[in-house]
């Protein structure tokens, strides 16, 4: 049998034709004037009313566009009502439009005015994205948080418009490599990429920085943002910093979506970008950042409660977010020069941190070189920075390094916490400038460099007070979620070899549920006691722990984790075989909690030993700051 097929051209491969042409004199607010031939078209692939403005000696450039001639200068300009018409300074669209007309008028060419507002998401959605940017998201993250693409623009119609005029070879006025790539793929010969100017304002610095770092726009920006610019560049005004309860309400609203994405999180072995965008939009990542850089300056009680509630949705997400939040707080403890670098793009710089095992550092002029392989870099799949522990002689240092300078080793293939992406990092003789290498003891102390800069109380406490909190809070939240799932299951499940119509009517099942409930309540009480002991220490100056307090809070955290795990065990052994299918949340919770129990903050043997010594006033057998 012979199969006959007909090749059907895709819309962008079909020719477009000029529909009309009209002469329009142009005059800008600064007095610059030019004349354009504005053309409309039939047959554009997306059916939108795009315009082409032919400016200057455009006809001659078409005649000269051969290999030896000068091709027409072309600008693809996406419609921006706020910037083009109202002069908004949140973007650089208005100045770019004005610049493009003048540049093209001087040499001849075309300005394509494309009806792709908000990088293709539309005017209303763009304004919604602005609101999300005001909470700390960058321009791309805001689009994703709305459920849209980072950049939905398609330049097929642009290629058709150029083709209708016979402009097969052009010089493209742009800083955006995607425009070059798309036009080239569509058959347009981009003979030269001509950069546009940098139109920097106080309000668009973060916008331009995101374009440079996220989509490789060729933009040169100053390395520091003057203080006057910080307030208007998308940082959080003090009057809209949420309260403790308001932030928790935002987190509670995320829980259903975290549960929906929990399987995806495991499958891709990292937190989905949609979840990261929602966490940033809720203000979670910047909750511990100092107010001076646009953060909320919140305390321990809010932080651990957020982690606990996130774990009720997805333990891997809670673990990752908890550590990314914690690492923002760690960055705020560094000297000013390093802080200027990491907080330049907003109040929530993402950083992984690992010291397992510490690398090696060698002093060199201007800094140190470091070598090593570091494991358990939680959050690294989303991070721009890494905080790496290294050893120089008998001095422990922490080095702040761009993740792009490191080798990322994909080794996180685990039974639980799969979605944390806690991969390894490696470096060999990597230079780290002196301002990004700091003694650990100085960084970890209550009197750290950041405490001389920021008045926020959370910067004036020892680092150890936060470092043991994520695992117990995650285990508790996971157990609370498991208890709710178990309760729902008991109301409908029929157990084999029993007479009851549903499991909830069985006295033994009722006793099991009571035991699980009691274990969760025990875990919660121990956890609350640990948080109280730590929070009470903040009233002292300098903030410090007695051995008794350190023993009590570490013991309470360990016992909380053990009770959470026991609750999950009771639930799983009473829930039947079906819950061990990989699609069921209970098996995932059990695997996640089992891995959590192996974290140092929940490993009971050393905790019981050291806590016993502290409670008996025998002194710890290890340095207190290591417990």
Asked whether the CA dihedral 111, 117, 118, 119 is positive or negative, the reply is negative
Active site residues: 151, 153
Three-state secondary structure of 356-401: EEEEEEEEECCEEEEEEEEECCCCHHHCCEEEEEEEECCEEEEEEE
| Cα 445 versus chain centre, distance | 28
Strand duo 17-27 + 33-42: pairing? antiparallel
Cis peptide bond N-terminal to 542, omega within 30: yes
Instruction: For the chain, report the end-to-end CA distance as a whole number of angstroms.
Output: 77
Give the Cβ contact number of residue 261 at 10 Å.
22
- Between CA 470 and CA 482, with CA 476 as vertex, the angle to 5 degrees is 135
Three-state secondary structure of 481-511: HHHHHHHHHHCCCCCCCCCCCCHHHCHHHHH
Residue 395: what are its φ and ψ, rounded to 5°?
A: -110, 130
> Buried b / exposed e across 284-314, counting CB within 10 Å, b at 16+?
bbbbbbbbbbbbbbbbbebbbbbbbbbbbbb
9 Ramachandran zone, left/alpha/beta (phi>0; psi -120 to 50)? beta
Distance from C-alpha of 80 to C-alpha of 565, rounded to nearest angstrom = 54
Pair 448, 456: CB distance under 8 Å: no
Distance from C-alpha of 74 to C-alpha of 56, rounded to nearest angstrom = 12
Beta bridge partners, 42, equal 17
- Which one, of 331, 237, 244, 233, lies nearest residue 292 by Cα? 237
Distance from C-alpha of 68 to C-alpha of 46, rounded to nearest angstrom = 34
């Amino acid at each position: 049998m012979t199969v006959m097929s007909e090749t059907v051209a895709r819309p962008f491969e079909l020719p477009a034709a000029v529909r009309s042409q009209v002469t329009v004199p142009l005059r800008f607010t600064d007095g610059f004037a030019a004349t354009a031939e504005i053309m409309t078209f039939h047959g554009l692939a997306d059916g939108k009313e795009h315009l082409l403005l032919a400016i200057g000696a455009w006809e001659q450039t078409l005649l000269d566009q051969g290999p030896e001639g000068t091709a027409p200068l072309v600008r693809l300009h996406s419609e921006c009502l706020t910037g083009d018409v109202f002069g908004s300074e949140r973007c650089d669209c208005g100045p770019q439009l004005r610049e493009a007309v003048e540049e093209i008028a001087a040499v001849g060419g075309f300005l394509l005015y494309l009806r792709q507002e908000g990088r293709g998401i539309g005017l209303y959605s763009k304004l919604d994205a602005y609101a999300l940017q005001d909470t700390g998201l960058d321009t791309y993250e805001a689009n994703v948080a709305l459920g849209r693409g980072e950049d939905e623009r398609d330049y097929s119609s642009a290629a058709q418009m150029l083709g209708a005029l016979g402009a097969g070879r052009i010089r493209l006025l742009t800083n955006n490599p995607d425009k070059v790539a798309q036009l080239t793929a569509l058959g347009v010969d981009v003979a030269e990429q001509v950069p546009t100017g940098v139109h920097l304002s106080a309000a668009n610095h973060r916008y331009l920085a995101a374009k440079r770092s996220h989509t490789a726009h060729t933009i040169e920006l100053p390395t520091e943002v003057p203080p006057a610019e910080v307030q208007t560049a998308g940082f959080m005004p003090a009057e809209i910093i949420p309260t403790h309860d308001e932030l928790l309400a935002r987190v509670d609203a995320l829980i259903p979506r975290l549960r929906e994405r929990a399987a995806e999180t495991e499958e891709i072995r990292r937190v989905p970008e949609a979840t990261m965008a929602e966490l940033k939009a809720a203000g979670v990542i910047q909750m511990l950042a100092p107010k001076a850089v646009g953060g909320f300056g919140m305390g321990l009680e809010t932080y651990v409660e957020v982690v606990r509630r996130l774990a009720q949705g997805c333990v891997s997400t809670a673990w990752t977010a908890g550590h990314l939040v914690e690492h923002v707080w760690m960055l705020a403890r560094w000297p000013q020069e390093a802080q200027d670098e990491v907080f330049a793009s907003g109040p929530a710089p993402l950083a992984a941190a690992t010291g397992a095992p510490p690398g090696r550092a060698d002093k060199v002029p201007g800094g140190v070189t470091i070598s090593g392989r570091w494991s358990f870099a939680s959050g690294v799949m989303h991070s721009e920075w890494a905080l790496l522990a290294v050893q120089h002689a008998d001095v422990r240092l922490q080095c702040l390094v761009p993740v792009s300078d490191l080798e990322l080793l994909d080794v996180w293939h685990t039974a639980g916490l799969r979605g944390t992406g806690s991969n390894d990092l490696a470096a060999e003789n990597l230079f780290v400038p002196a301002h990004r290498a700091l003694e650990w003891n100085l960084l970890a102390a209550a009197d750290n460099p950041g405490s001389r800069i920021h008045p926020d109380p959370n910067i004036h406490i020892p680092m150890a007070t936060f470092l043991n909190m994520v695992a117990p809070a995650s285990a508790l939240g996971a157990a609370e979620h498991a208890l709710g799932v178990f309760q729902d299951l008991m109301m409908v499940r029929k157990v084999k070899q029993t007479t009851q119509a549903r499991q909830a009517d069985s006295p033994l099942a009722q006793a099991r549920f009571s035991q699980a409930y009691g274990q969760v309540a025990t875990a919660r009480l121990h956890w609350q006691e640990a948080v109280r002991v730590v929070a009470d220490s903040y009233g002292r100056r300098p903030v410090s722990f007695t051995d008794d307090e350190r023993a009590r809070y570490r013991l309470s955290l360990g016992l909380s984790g053990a009770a959470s795990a026991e609750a999950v065990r009771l639930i799983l052994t009473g829930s039947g075989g079906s819950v061990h299918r990989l699609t069921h949340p209970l098996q995932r919770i059990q695997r996640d909690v089992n891995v959590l129990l192996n974290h140092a903050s929940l490993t009971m043997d050393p905790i019981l030993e050291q806590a016993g010594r502290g409670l008996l006033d025998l002194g710890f057998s290890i340095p207190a700051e290591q417990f």
